[in-house]
């Protein structure tokens, strides 16, 4: 017997495979993922009402109609629409969800969720409100509470229910860490009762219902999970102190949600479930709509948009398939790019003019791809599996036979062009030729090519394995087809590609250079290295600009700085400090010394008094700087450069600037991106701050765009 009920259009269907077993199947017909939107919750409420009126039911199974997909969470667009809602409304929404799901524990029947695929956020909350959970053994099956990654914690009872089922320690780890766990781990902590093949989920759920009805265990659990958690004060105190220390170390006070989640779970553990839920709702409302919550939601939408964006406006084009890639230059970047391909199953031909460099490059690729994240060691099986995908070669024919050819040799236009000249005649008709250059304009590199339409920049960031950004750079003659293929290829490597127009430094380095340049200016005006670093880190940067110089390499930074200085001499100064250090062989981390010294066994940067010798001769002053002044000096020139980039249409959308900086240089995610941050400060306030830097000239002069935004009360995102 099967019947369809509920609101229209119906996403949850109720069926009765046996006379006393009800099955609720969730399937959002027009969507790839099931999402707990308000309308779905209304439907669920209606179904629960029907089931509550059936006293002879033995059990209710909640399952998804989509293979490999249980529930991907709450509807975040609805969240965004309520960000400015009064706190009482947020608390009410939270309680509504808790009350709705709590009805699963009040049914006369046993409630079981049967999970195949992803079960996160609101979906995991629904799951923990049911009496029992079973999971499929599918590779995509996982359960988790990723809310902290959005600056929140579960607000539909997740923080109250989970510790009662799996114990406070496990729940704290799940909720404050935000990482999902697989079925095995879920079973080990008592979160799920059984793991079965996806096709067997429903019969297994029915079997479980029969057993529960016989033993009556679910009734005992209902009773004990309604009360406080039994734990000694010593245990509680120890757990609180250790978890809080770990969280503070990880979040550095910049992400409040994990600590707030810990406090809610610790506090709630001593109350009955009703009070714990009320506590959760009140505390949830404090995080909802906070600056960090808004910023992290912004990042969610930036990445979501990026996943759907094909890189061009013409949606009729489809990417050419890429099954093989060649990488020319087996250095830091070339080896990193080759490894990224191998990890995604794309075979790679790696070549280098220097045989020693090629051998080292191939060995570096193998080391990287055979690293097993779980054991944190090299894995022989992985190495054996991956090795056939990497071909170290000196044959131009083998290189040219690949679908994409990426050049990553030294940053020298003549060397790069001579390689293109030699290889281009050998390439297939659809092969894309690309450069990984970080600064040299693409249009110029393409000048002598027979097919400049099939040439573009595919600019990876260092280290490739860590940085998710790729800039796909369009030369004047690059075709849309080439862009679409390059974008799809970068996505296949697991990256976020943004399409940018040609120009000095493209997008990310163009915005980074003013920031790094300003750090040197500050040094020469008497600011201390430690103070500059501290301010940048307090702002949220992963490292200060002076450390960044040492990481990038002072020679590389000098070269990139020169390109920018030549392009924008009124705004970028050619600081004499860099060439002085380079001349002395202080190239940064790689040479054991740069601004800092790296002579200790751990190669950790240490202050080196010798550095004064390289700065003092160029000192223009010596005074104290306050924190706000340094912050303004570092970040406002970067912001002004971003407004110029927008004016020049280097990017297709403001959101690409934010995505680029977050995933290319680690701009603080809790600030939501440079322009998101600037919008929260406001154009008028930014102009006020810039006034204090007027004496610095062109590099801090407000741009037309910023001025017009201030005059019209606009924001970057509303533009």
Return the active site residues: 459
Q: Is 469 in the site for ligand NAI (CB under 6 A)?
A: no
Should residue 490 be labelled a site residue for ligand NAI when binding is judged by CB under 6 A?
no
Closest separation between CB of residue 504 and ligand NAI, Å?
13
| Number of residues engaging ligand NAI in binding (CB under 6 A) | 25
Which alpha helices (H) appear in 33-167, and where do they start and end?
Answer: 38-52, 76-81, 87-102, 122-129, 158-166
Binding characters for ligand NAI, 238-267, by CB under 6 A (x = yes):
------------------------------
Phi-psi region of 504 (alpha: psi -120 to 50; beta: other; left: phi over 0): beta
The CA distance from 76 to 87, in Å, is 18
* Least spacing, CB of residue 352 vs ligand NAI, in Å: 4
624 SS3 class: coil
The residue (of 298 and 364) whose beta carbon lies closer to ligand NAI is 364
Shortest Å, Cβ 527 to ligand NAI:
26
Q: How many helices (H) and strands (E) does the chain have?
A: 31, 20
Q: Which SS3 state, helix, strand or coil, does residue 692 take?
A: coil
Minimum distance, C-beta of residue 556 to ligand NAI, in the bound complex (Å): 6
Omega before 463 cis (within 30°)?
yes
For residue 702, give the DSSP letter: P
Return the residue of 278, 379, 411, 480 that touches ligand NAI, per CB under 6 A: 411
Compute the least distance from the CB of residue 411 to ligand NAI, in Å.
4
Q: Which stretch binds ligand NAI (CB under 6 A): 67-75, 129-137, 332-340, 514-522?
A: 332-340
Selected binder of ligand NAI within 159, 431, 436, 700 (CB under 6 A): 436
Within a 10 A sphere around the Cβ of 663, how many other Cβ atoms? Answer: 25
Helix (H) or strand (E) holding 349: strand 347-351
Site for ligand NAI (CB under 6 A): which residue of 69, 206, 326, 333?
333
Which of 665, 661, 666 lies closest to 716 in space, CA to CA?
A: 661
- Kindly state the smallest distance separating residue 441's Cβ from ligand NAI, in Å: 13
Q: Shortest approach of ligand NAI to residue 552 CB, angstroms?
A: 6
Task: Give the residue with the Cβ less far from ligand NAI, 352 or 518.
Answer: 352
Cα–Cα dist 510/651, whole Å: 12
Mark 160-179 with x for binding to ligand NAI (rule: CB under 6 A) and - for no binding: --------------------
Q: What is the DSSP annotation of 159-187? A: HHHHHHHH-HHHHHHHHHH---EEHHHHH
The smaller minimum CB distance to ligand NAI, of residues 198 and 578, is found at 578
In the complex with ligand NAI, which residue's Cβ is closer, 353 or 584? 353
Is the Cβ of residue 28 or residue 404 nearer to ligand NAI in the bound state?
A: 404
- The verdict on 334 binding ligand NAI (CB under 6 A) reads yes
How remote is the C-alpha of 503 from its chain's centroid? 27
Residue 653, SS3 per DSSP: coil
Angstrom distance (rounded) from CA 661 to CA 652: 15
Among residues 181, 247, 406, 409, which is the contact residue for ligand NAI, using CB under 6 A? 409
Residue whose C-alpha is closest to residue 67's, from 153, 143, 170, 138: 138
Minimum separation from the CB atom of position 419 to ligand NAI (A): 5
Q: What is the dihedral of CA 386, 392, 397, 402, to 10 degrees?
A: 30
Nearest to ligand NAI of 461, 716 (CB atom): 461
Give the nearer residue to ligand NAI in terms of CB position, either 170 or 436.
436
Which element (helix H / strand E) includes 292?
helix 291-308
Cis ω before 693 (30° cut-off from 0): no
Dihedral sign for Cα atoms in the order 410, 414, 415, 421: positive
Site for ligand NAI in 347-366 (CB under 6 A): 352-354, 357
Q: What is the SS3 assignment for 530? A: helix
Helix (H), strand (E), coil (C) string for 238-276: HHHHHHHHHHHHHHCCCCCHHHHHHHHHHHHHCCCHHHH
- Exactly one of 28, 128, 195, 330 binds ligand NAI (CB under 6 A); that residue is 330
> For ligand NAI, which is the closer residue by CB, 35 or 458?
458
**410 lies in the binding site for ligand NAI (CB under 6 A):** yes
Choosing from 306, 438, 589, 632, the residue that interacts with ligand NAI (CB under 6 A) is 438
| Interface segment toward ligand NAI; rule CB under 6 A; list 129-137, 433-441, 530-538, 627-635 | 433-441
**Residue 332 is a binding residue for ligand NAI (CB under 6 A):** yes
Instruction: Give the H or E element holding residue 293.
Output: helix 291-308
- C-alpha span between 60 and 16 (Å, rounded): 9
List the structure tokens of 5.
């009920």
User: Edge to edge, what strands does the sheet with 59-64 contain?
Assistant: 12-18, 21-26, 59-64, 110-115, 132-136, 194-196
Part of the chain binding ligand NAI (CB under 6 A), chosen from 192-200, 262-270, 408-416, 699-707: 408-416
Q: How far is the CB of 553 from ligand NAI (least distance, A)?
A: 7
| Of residues 280 and 502, the one with the C-beta less far from ligand NAI | 502
Nearer to ligand NAI among residue 437 and residue 517 (C-beta): 437
Residue 437 binds to ligand NAI (criterion: CB under 6 A): yes
Binding to ligand NAI by residue 205, rule CB under 6 A? no
How far is the C-alpha of 449 from the C-alpha of 480, rounded, in Å? 17
**Residue 408 within binding range of ligand NAI, rule CB under 6 A:** yes
Contacts of 304 (CB under 8 A, 6+ apart): none
Return the number of the residue (462 or 591) whose C-beta is nearest ligand NAI.
462
Smallest gap from Cβ 421 to ligand NAI, in A, equals 11
Is residue 419 a contact residue for ligand NAI (CB under 6 A)? yes
- Residue 329 binds ligand NAI, judged by CB under 6 A: yes
Instruction: Show the binding pattern over residues 544-563: x = contacts ligand NAI (CB under 6 A), - = does not.
Output: --------x---x-------
List alpha helices for 525-673, DSSP H: 529-539, 545-552, 554-567, 577-583, 612-615, 627-647, 654-665
Residues that bind ligand NAI (CB under 6 A): 328-334, 352-354, 357, 408-411, 415, 419, 436-438, 460-462, 552, 556
């Amino acid at each position: 017997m099967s019947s369809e009920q509920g609101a229209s259009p119906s996403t949850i269907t109720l069926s009765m495979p046996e006379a006393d077993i009800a099955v609720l199947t969730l399937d959002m017909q027009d969507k790839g993922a099931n999402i707990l939107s308000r309308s779905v919750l209304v439907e669920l409420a209606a179904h629960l009402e029907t089931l509550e009126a059936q006293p002879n039911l033995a059990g209710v199974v909640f399952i998804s109609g989509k293979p490999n997909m249980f529930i991907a969470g709450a509807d975040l667009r609805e969240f965004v629409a309520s960000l400015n809602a009064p706190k009482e409304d947020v608390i009410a929404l939270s309680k509504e969800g808790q009350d709705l799901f709590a009805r699963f524990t009040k049914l006369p029947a046993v409630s079981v969720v049967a999970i195949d695929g992803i079960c996160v956020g609101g979906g995991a909350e629904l799951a923990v409100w049911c009496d029992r959970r079973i999971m499929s053994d599918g590779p995509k099956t996982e359960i988790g509470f990723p809310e902290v990654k959005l600056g929140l914690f579960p607000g539909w009872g997740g923080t109250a229910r989970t510790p009662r089922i799996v114990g406070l320690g496990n729940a704290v780890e799940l909720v404050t860490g935000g990482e999902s766990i697989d079925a095995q781990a879920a079973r080990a902590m008592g979160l799920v009762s059984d793991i079965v093949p996806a096709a067997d989920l429903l019969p297994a759920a029915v079997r479980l219902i029969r057993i529960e009805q016989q033993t009556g265990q679910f009734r005992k659990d209902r009773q004990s999970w309604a009360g406080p958690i039994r734990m000694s004060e010593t245990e509680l105190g120890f757990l609180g102190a250790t978890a809080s220390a770990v969280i503070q170390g990880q979040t550095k006070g910049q992400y409040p949600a994990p600590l707030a989640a810990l406090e809610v779970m610790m506090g709630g553990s001593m109350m009955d479930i009703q009070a714990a839920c009320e506590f959760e709702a009140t505390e949830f409302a404090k995080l909802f709509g906070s600056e960090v919550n808004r910023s992290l939601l912004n990042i969610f939408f930036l990445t979501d948009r990026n996943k759907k964006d094909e890189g061009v406006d013409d949606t009729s084009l489809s990417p050419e398939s890429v099954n093989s890639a060649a990488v020319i230059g087996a250095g830091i970047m070339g080896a990193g790019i080759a490894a990224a391909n191998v990890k995604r199953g794309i075979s790679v031909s790696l070549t280098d003019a220097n045989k020693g460099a090629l051998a080292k490059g191939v060995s570096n690729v193998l080391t990287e791809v055979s690293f097993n994240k779980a054991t944190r060691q090299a894995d022989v099986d992985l190495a054996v599996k991956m090795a056939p995908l990497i071909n170290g070669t000196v044959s131009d024919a083998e290189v040219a036979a690949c679908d994409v050819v990426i050049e990553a040799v030294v940053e020298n236009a003549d060397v790069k062009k001579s390689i293109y000249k030699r290889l281009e005649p050998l390439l297939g008709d659809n092969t894309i030729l690309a450069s990984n250059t970080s600064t040299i304009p693409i249009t110029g590199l393409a000048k002598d090519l027979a097919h400049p339409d099939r040439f573009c920049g595919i600019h990876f960031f260092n280290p490739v394995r860590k940085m998710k950004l790729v800039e796909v750079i369009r030369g004047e003659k690059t075709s849309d087809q080439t862009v679409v293929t390059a974008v799809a290829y970068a996505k296949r490597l697991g990256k976020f590609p943004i399409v940018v127009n040609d120009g000095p430094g493209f997008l990310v380095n163009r915005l980074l250079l003013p920031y790094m340049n300003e750090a040197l200016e500050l040094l020469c005006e008497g600011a201390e290295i430690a103070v500059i670093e501290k301010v940048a880190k307090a702002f949220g940067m992963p490292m200060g600009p002076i450390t960044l110089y040492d990481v990038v390499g002072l020679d590389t930074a000098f070269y990139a700085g020169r390109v920018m200085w030549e392009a924008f001499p009124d705004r970028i100064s050619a600081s004499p400090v860099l060439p002085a250090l380079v001349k002395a062989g202080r190239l940064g981390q790689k040479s054991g010394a740069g601004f800092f010294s790296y002579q200790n066994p751990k190669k950790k940067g240490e202050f080196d008094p010798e550095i004064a010798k390289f700065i003092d001769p160029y000192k223009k002053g010596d005074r104290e700087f306050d924190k706000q002044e340094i912050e303004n000096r570092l970040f406002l020139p970067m912001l002004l450069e971003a407004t110029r980039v927008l004016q020049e249409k280097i990017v297709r959308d403001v959101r690409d600037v934010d995505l680029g900086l977050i995933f290319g240089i680690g701009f603080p995610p809790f600030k939501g991106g440079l322009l998101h941050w600037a919008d929260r400060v406001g154009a008028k306030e930014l102009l006020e701050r810039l006034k204090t830097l007027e004496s610095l000239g062109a590099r801090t002069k407000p741009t037309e765009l910023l001025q017009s935004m201030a005059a019209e009360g606009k924001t970057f995102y509303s533009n």
